[in-house]
Amino acid sequence: MWEAYRSKREHLVIGLMSGTSLDGTDAALVHIQTDEHGAMQRMELVDFICTPYTNELRERLIRLCSPETARVDELTTAHFGVSEWYAQSVQELLQSAGVSSGQVDVISMHGQTIWHAPVPSAFPSPLGTGSLKVSSTLQIGECAVVRERTGLPVIGNLRARDMAAGGEGAPLTPYADALMFRSATEGRLVQNIGGIGNVTVLPAGSSETEVSAFDTGPGNMVIDALVRHATEGKQHYDPNGSIAAKGTVHPELVAYCLNDDYFRRHPPKSTGREVYGADYAKRLMEFAALHDLSLEDLLASATWLTAETIVRAVEDFVLPKTSISAMLTCGGGTSNDTLMKMIRLRLPESIRLKRTADYGVPDDAREAMGFALLGHEALMGRTNTLPDVTGAAHAVISGHLTL
- The closest of 240, 390, 289, 29 to 297, measured between CA atoms, is 289
Is 22 marked as a binding-site residue? yes
DSSP for 254-318, written as a single string: HHHHH--HHHHSPSS----HHHHSHHHHHHHHHHHHHTT--HHHHHHHHHHHHHHHHHHHHHHHT
What own/partner pairs with CB < 8 Å and gap ≥ 24 does 138-141 have?
138/113, 138/114, 139/110, 139/111, 139/112, 139/113, 139/114, 140/64, 140/75, 140/78, 140/79, 140/82, 140/111, 140/112, 140/114, 141/18, 141/79, 141/82, 141/83, 141/86, 141/109, 141/110, 141/111, 141/112
Is 25 marked as a binding-site residue? yes
- Classified as helix, coil or strand, 171 is coil
Q: Are the beta carbons of 229 and 283 closer than 8 angstroms? A: no
> Alpha carbon 219 to chain centroid distance?
10
End-to-end CA distance of the chain: 8
CA 232, 238, 239, 245 torsion-angle sign: positive
Dist. CA 127–CA 248, nearest whole Å: 57
Is 20 marked as a binding-site residue? yes
- The closest of 237, 181, 155, 76 to 401, measured between CA atoms, is 155
Q: Are the beta carbons of 387 and 395 closer than 8 angstroms? A: yes
Half-sphere exposure of 245 (CA within 13 A, CB side): 11
Question: What DSSP state is assigned to residue 232?
Answer: T
Neighbours of 26 (CB within 10 A): 25
| DSSP alpha helix (H) spans, 126-207 | 143-150, 160-164, 174-181
Annotated binding-site ranges: 19-26
Binding site, annotated residues for ATP: 19-26
